Amino acid sequence: MSTILARVANIADRYDELTELMADPAVAADFARLNELDRERQEIEELAQVYRRYETVATQIQENRALLDDADAEMRELAELEIEALEKEQEALDRRMKSLLLPKDPKDEKNVIVEIRAGTGGEEASLFAAELYRMYARWAEAHRYKVEVLSLNETGLGGIKEVVFAIKGKGAYSKLKYESGVHRVQRVPVTESAGRIHTSAATVAVLPEADDIDVVINDNDIRIDIFRSSGPGGQSVNTTDSAVRLTHIPTGIVISCQDEKSQLQNKLKAMRILRTRLYEIEEQKRMEELGAARRSQIGSGDRSEKIRTYNFPQSRVTDHRINKTVYQLDSVLDGAIDEFIEELSAYDQAQRLEAMSAEIA
């Protein structure tokens, strides 16, 4: 039995032990104790049930292998078919056990705040940043997530210098957390008369949105400045002092919001962004304390890492972390990024399992 399998077997035995304890009249009479045992039992219930099914399937495979020596050819053929089906189920159960054994990221169920900033490439980078925003918005729409723009700084030609927006929905962070990093685009800009291919870039940061209980902000640590909105806007946006700039004095973080007509709404949006950035700082500190060996290979959200290239002449999108290339650029920019998300998640899980196995060994 492998080390991981032995560990799961111990967890399944603990599940059985908890079931017996909860049936004990003395334990059942102690409501607090019963609740404590029930919580522990629920946490490992699915893993225990998957393991017990894995045991049953393993036994059935052995029984069918014994039939391969049967003189009856029809019986041998049936046994071979049954073994084939059982081995497929066993592989699926093995993957599920390993997945359940990995510690869950408590941030996975959170909403996300996404920040996209135009990088090198001037106006072309701003246009690409706008396309990335549209890509994530279309993806969110397809998954019935809600998109809320918190801050937007546009250019005069339809590009975006910076946009901060929330994507709300259960599990949003678990899906998008691998999107942080530098996204490159290679194409001939509209303004390029010679037809030369240029490379531009935009930076994406995906942060789990912090709740009030995650980060406590002292009012004395914040300086609030009110000013008149600038740039394109709707009625009264540029005529009232509704824009808000928050400065978090201890960290020097500055957040500006001016998209709403109401000063209060802009302040609330700025506070959401500030709370999320402070939460990110705390999480980065925690990850540093855990040490490099226990960090995910692709889940660190390093904004300086070049993660993906969008090549227009070849209609090619390449994710450099998993060496995956698809030739469906239009679809990807229209929000079809699930293929990347799923493979990045699988790769990350494999890396974490490898690290866990090394720790157990």
Residue 361's pLDDT is 60
What is the pLDDT confidence band of residue 309, given thresholds at 50, 70 and 90? Answer: very high
> 209-223, 284-298, 313-327: which range is least confident on average?
284-298
Do 142 and 269 fall into the same domain?
yes
Residue 40 pLDDT more than 80? yes
Across the range 215-236, mean pLDDT stands at 73
Among 142, 8, 108, residue whose Cα is nearest residue 349: 108
With vertex at residue 108, the alpha carbon angle to CA 298 and CA 32, rounded to the nearest 5 degrees, is: 135
According to DSSP, the β-strands at 306-311 and 181-187 are parallel
Using CB atoms within 10 Å of the CB of residue 94, give its burial: 0 to 12 exposed, 13 to 18 middle, 19+ buried: middle
Kindly state whether residues 119 and 196 are assigned to the same domain.
yes
**164 with 33, same domain?**
no
Q: pLDDT grade, residue 263 (50/70/90)?
A: confident
- Residues 146, 33, single domain; the answer is no
Kindly report the CATH number assigned to the domain that includes residue 287.
3.30.70.1660
Residue 6 has pLDDT above 90, yes or no: no
Angle at which helix 73-101 crosses helix 3-23, to 10 degrees, equals 80
Q: pLDDT tens digits for 66-94?
A: 988 877 888 889 999 999 999 999 999 99
Asked which of 101, 136, 157 is the last residue of a domain, the reply is: 101
Domain membership flag for residue 107: no
Range of the domain at 202: 112-291+303-351
Q: Are residues 10 and 81 in the same domain?
A: yes
Residues 120 and 204 in one domain: yes
Q: Which of 62, 80, 101 is the last residue of a domain?
A: 101
Distances (CA, A) of 306 to 132, 208, 352: 15, 21, 22
CATH of the domain at 34: 1.20.58
For residues 317 and 342, state if they share a domain: yes
**296 lies in a domain?**
no
Asked if residue 69 belongs to a domain, the reply is yes
Residues 86 and 164 in one domain: no
pLDDT of 114-163, one tens digit each? Answer: 999 999 888 899 999 999 999 999 999 999 999 999 989 888 788 999 99
The verdict on residue 308 lying in a domain is: yes
pLDDT-based confidence at residue 262 (cuts at 50, 70, 90) = confident
* pTM check: above 0.75: no
- Note whether 78 and 132 are same-domain residues: no
- Domain assignment present for residue 329? The answer is yes
33 part of a folded domain: yes
| Residue 255, domain member (yes or no) | yes
If 0-12 CB within 10 Å is exposed, 13-18 middle and 19+ buried, where does residue 299 land? middle
43 and 191 in a single domain? The answer is: no
Q: How many structural domains comprise the chain?
A: 2
Model confidence at 55, pLDDT cuts 50, 70, 90, reads very high
Instruction: Of 77-81, 281-285, 302-306, give the lowest mean pLDDT range.
Output: 302-306
Same domain, 248 and 126: yes
Which of 66, 101, 136 is the last residue before a domain boundary? 101
pLDDT greater than 60 at residue 318: yes
Does the residue 356 lie in any domain? no
Residues 179 and 280 in one domain: yes
